[in-house]
Amino acid sequence: RWPSLLKYYNQTDSVSWLEEYKARHNAGLEAQRIVASFSKRFFSEHVPCDGFSDIETLGCPSHFFEDELMCILNMEGRKGLTWKYYAKKILYFLRQQNILKNLKEYLQRPTDQQSFLEGAVLIDQYCNPLSDICLRSVQAQVDDIADKVRQVLRTKNPRHPSLASKAEEFLVPEVELQRQVLDAMNCVLYEQLKYKGNELDYYNSLNSYIHQVLIRRTGIPISLSVLYLTIARQLGVRLEPVNFPSHFLLRWCQGKEGSTDIFDYTYIDAFGKGKQLTVKECEYLIGHHVTEEFYGVVTSKEVLQRMVGNLLNLGKRESTDQSYQLLRDSLDLYLAIHPDNVQHLMLQARLYFHLGIWPEKVLDILQHIQALDPSQHGTARYLVQHTLEHIERRKEEVGPEVKLRADEKHKEVCFSVGLIMRHKRYGYNCVIYGWDPTCMMGHEWIRNMNVHSLPHGPHQPFYNVLVEDGSCRYAAQEKLEYISEPREIPHPDIGRYFSEFTGTHYLPNTELEIRYPEDLELTRATVQKIYGSGKE
């Protein structure tokens, strides 16, 4: 019944399966209760930080609880969209909390016990908590590559010491024997397996995730370097990471071990098919001279910081993702590494403030910033003031506004919640999840969007729509039209508003139907009229 739970049991253990069944069954009921409560509690706002408090104090095994959430997410068909939406949010939170705990434990270890690969996996897991990523699986794939390298090495030198030992601390003694290992690695990685630097899509976040690097066989300098370094060390060649500007490199000692002379090293470009470079060639690579400090070795913590920094920059660039999930995740990771970095704490506070989420957490962050750096008092005070105003406004909110079609001011509203529409000018497909009898945006938005140039200007119904590209927009009635062949809208927030896709339209969930109680019948009538009974 629950095959995914097998991994939690040892075949030699004596287990009371009736008790385990009861525990799993009760965890399932608890998970369903909590998921069902989320829509009512958090429909009007982002799930607050303390919204997960009852999950953190679960009275059942967390892996049973997670398993039920996965069962909800894997429900077949187009039903249960609201349950899936909140189950995903809860699972995201639970897994990220666990991964963050593992990352902090990793950072507390002595440097020589911090595997570069494990660090890369932790970053990958945190940014992709719903994916099945584990160190054991990634390590197995790396081991498989290392075995392929041994096969090539065996044909070149059957007596090579790397073939005789798999011990972690084993080191190949001579430079020439090390060179044979690196040549075999380049043969396997770049010729046989076709790994390469992703020059065409360099700024894709997938290039930074180690499990995606292994699947797609492409990445950026730092992710390919972590892979290359890990394989080399398994084969007895000690490469070291170099935090070179603009292009992460590895270095290979040709002189006395631990030498501080940068000319005693050969530099390896894992992004450039393992090419071996001199100091001068490294400068040609980036087009300018750099000082000796940039050729020095860096720690696993500094490697992680650079990987997270890359994701931070990508998160700032992602304009289509209105939730800024990558930026939020990478900020969490950066502050786990450097919890007192004022610049990134301020960025996090500004981001939450901009998104209008977690005002209480914003206040905590701003208080922490002021304690760390009193010079930030002016900026922090401005944000504190507006955050307190936001909290007060939220307290003043009464129940949901109910919009009835019988109301005289709503008589011009032609479309209804749940209909799938097309924008006449921009051509995007969308689903309506709300409407206003006239444009309710401020003067600045109306001016910027040139609303007055429309034949009916702002004095016509406007619709809140979820768009297929993942954005949310506010569209004028005269710009929307029925779509000839309705299809599902792949929007991350679809389950927040709708419980099911029927094939022609979406059914509002309970909370949305409370706000638009007459729209469902109108939507059904509209669909029947346009598409006929066959599709309905």
Residue 295 has pLDDT above 50, yes or no: yes
**Residues above pLDDT 70, as percent of the chain:** 95
Write down the CATH number for the domain with range 408-532.
2.30.30.390
Bigger pLDDT: 93 vs 187: 187
Condensed to tens digits (0 to 9), the pLDDT of residues 448-503 reads: 999 999 999 999 999 999 999 988 999 999 999 999 899 999 999 999 999 999 99
**Residues above pLDDT 90, as percent of the chain:** 73
Residue 233 has pLDDT above 60, yes or no: yes
Which residue, among 430, 495, 496, 498, has the nearest Cα to 464 in the 3D structure? 430
Condensed to tens digits (0 to 9), the pLDDT of residues 417-427 reads: 999 999 999 99
What pLDDT score does 50 carry?
57
Condensed to tens digits (0 to 9), the pLDDT of residues 374-413 reads: 999 888 998 999 999 888 887 777 678 899 998 999 999 9
Per-residue confidence at 15, pLDDT binned at 50, 70, 90?
confident
What 3-state DSSP class applies to 217?
coil
Quote the CA–CA distance of 55 and 41 in Å, as a whole number: 14
Per-residue confidence at 259, pLDDT binned at 50, 70, 90?
confident
84: number of Cβ within 10 Å: 19
Quote the CA–CA distance of 239 and 175 in Å, as a whole number: 12
Residue 362 has pLDDT above 80, yes or no: yes
Q: How far apart, in Å, are the Cα atoms of 244 and each of 158, 223, 259, 409, 453?
A: 36, 14, 18, 64, 53
What pLDDT score does 391 carry?
83
Q: Which two tokens stand for residue 131?
A: 């994916």
Rounded to 5°, angle at Cα 333 from 97 and 490: 75
Q: Which two tokens stand for residue 382?
A: 């401005």
Average pLDDT over residues 135-160: 95
Quote the CA–CA distance of 457 and 503 in Å, as a whole number: 33
Helices and strands, number each (H, E), in the chain:
19, 13
Cβ contacts of 326 within 8 Å, gap of 6 or more:
127, 205, 311, 314, 315, 318
What pLDDT score does 536 carry?
39
Quote the CA–CA distance of 195 and 183 in Å, as a whole number: 15
Quote the CA–CA distance of 408 and 404 in Å, as a whole number: 9
Residue 533 has pLDDT above 60, yes or no: no
What pLDDT score does 535 carry?
45
What pLDDT score does 534 carry?
45
Residue 354 has pLDDT above 50, yes or no: yes
Rounded to 5°, angle at Cα 256 from 250 and 261: 65
Average pLDDT over residues 71-79: 89
What does the mean pLDDT of the chain come to?
Answer: 91
Average pLDDT over residues 270-280: 95
Domain ranges of the chain: 5-10+17-108, 135-303, 340-397, 408-532
Sign of CA dihedral 387, 446, 426, 404: positive
Average pLDDT over residues 13-36: 91
